Every structure is written in C-alpha cells, then in structure tokens.
Amino acid sequence: MKKSNKAKIVLSLTGFLVILAWKSVHTESCLVLAFPITIIIIISMSVIEFSAKKKECLAQFYFIESSLLYRLYNSKKILFIKSLLLSVLLGTSLMIAVVFWDIKIIQILFFDIFILYWIYAKTLNILAGSIKKMMKYVIAKDISVSINTFLLIVSILIVEIYSPIPIYVDISLKTTLISAYNIFSSECTVINFLLKLNAEKDAFSWWAMLNVDNHINDKNLKILAWTTFLLSNSLAAYAYSRYMIQLIDLFRLFGDENEQ
C-alpha cells in the first residue's frame, strides 16, 4: 500500500475514534461538544465543496456571468449559510444516532471505512478520462457517498430488525417514554435536550411498531413510526458517509492533488 493510502486510512480511523470518544463521554459536561463540532466542521467541508461546484456549473449553464441573477445564484454567503445549516443537521443526526446505536452497528461503521475507501478509489478509476479534473473528485465523492449510504442503511436496518427489543419498550406508551428518558441523558443541557428528543422519537417508534397491531387499529400510525425510524437512520448514515469521505479526501486537498 502506498504511503498516501496509508495516511488516508489512518486519518479515517482517527475520525472513527472521535466518534467512539463521543459515544463514551456524551454524558459529561458541555466540553464534550467539541467532538460533534469537529465532525460538523468536517462534514461542512464536503457539503460546501459539492454545493459550490454544483452551483458554479448550473450558474454558468443558465446565466450570463455578468448578470445580477448569476451573482445572486452563485452567492458565496448564501451558499455558506445553507451548507452550514445542512451540516449542523447532518452532524447532529449522526452524533445523536451514535449514542443510541449498539455495538453491532458501531462495528459495521468501522469496517465500512475500508468499504467506502474501496468504493471511492474504484469510482475515481471509472471516471478517469471522462470527467474534468475540477469535477472528478467532487462527483466521485458524491457517487461514493450515495452507494455507501445505501449499504449502511440496509446493514443498520438488518441489525435493528434482528436485535432484541429495547428494554425500555412497554405496552404503555407513557412508561416507554419515561424509561427511555431515564436511560439516555447527559449533564450538558444542550446534549440532554437532544438526547431526550431522540429518545422520545425512538420510544414512540418502537412502541408503535410493536403494539399498534395488537392494541390499536391504526395502520397509518405504524407506517409513520417505520418512516420516522427509517428517515432518522438514513440521515445519520448519510452524515457518516459524508464525514468519512471527507477525511479520506483531506490528504488530497492538503497534499498532492495528482497523487491519484
């Protein structure tokens, strides 16, 4: 393995350790917010790069460069604000999901680093000679993130389906919510609020999926529960893919762009 490839793997594994550290210390003071903030910054780099290149291409295609519409559409301030808000949403979703995911899913995330690296390398090889250099890495990353997110979602759902029912799930929705609140908490007010909000969502989803057929004749409620469960995990899986692909690509951004 080339030296640059080893550096990418080491950087990715370091990023994975940041996630493990967060999962271990999220119950502590607000100082641990440094972990999700770091992850949000890294995700934002990926989101901003993709959004900027996409807007640049569309602006050049649709508008005359000297026009007001071109300047408004390609505004860096608007782009930065939108990308930052999306990155905060993605980073927060990932950090909260990690707290609730069990060891099997964490193991999947570890091995997924190598799968994502392989997908990215193969995608770059396929695009070589077909895509301009300024867009090759951006498109390769976006394709890799899409493929990897799908694989992660399938893996997470399989694990969740065959995992034991959480101990806080009860026939009573009120008891389920109270139990979930007691299990997931933090000394930091901000983290505690987000954990309890997610605990409420997960508790309702599990309760609805397990009890609707037996006690409540409302199929729409069960569909809503499954949809909420799927969307939250999908958002976290996408965030993880964005986070890791940017770590893999950081070596290129700050190193030799021609090394691939």
Q: Point out the least confidently predicted range of 12-16, 117-121, 203-207.
A: 203-207
pLDDT recorded at residue 149: 96
Mean confidence (pLDDT) of the chain? 81
Please report, as a single letter, which amino acid is at residue 213: D
Residue with tokens 């070589």: 128
Is 111 inside a domain boundary? yes
Nearest-CA neighbor of 195 among 89, 96, 95, 94? 96
CA–centroid distance for 95 within its chain: 8
pLDDT greater than 60 at residue 213: no
pLDDT recorded at residue 107: 94
pLDDT recorded at residue 73: 65
Is 165 inside a domain boundary? yes
Mean pLDDT across 137-158: 92
pLDDT recorded at residue 88: 93
Is 259 inside a domain boundary? no
Question: What is d(CA 192, CA 30) in angstroms, rounded to the nearest whole number?
Answer: 10
Q: Point out the least confidently predicted range of 30-34, 92-96, 202-206.
A: 202-206
Residue numbers of the domain that contains 157: 3-254
Task: Kindly report the pTM of this predicted structure.
Answer: 0.83
Is 55 inside a domain boundary? yes
pLDDT greater than 50 at residue 195: yes
Stated as kind and residue range, the H or E segment containing 164 is: none
Q: What CA–CA distances, in Å, run from 205 to 176, 180, 231?
A: 10, 12, 12
- Catalogue the E-assigned strands of the chain: none
What sign does the dihedral 130-133-139-141 (CA atoms) show? positive
For residue range 68-121, list pLDDT tens digits in order: 666 666 677 777 888 889 999 999 999 988 988 889 999 999 999 999 999 999
Is 260 inside a domain boundary? no
pLDDT recorded at residue 40: 93
For residue range 224-243, list pLDDT tens digits in order: 667 777 888 899 999 999 99
Is 109 inside a domain boundary? yes
Q: How many domains does the chain have?
A: 1
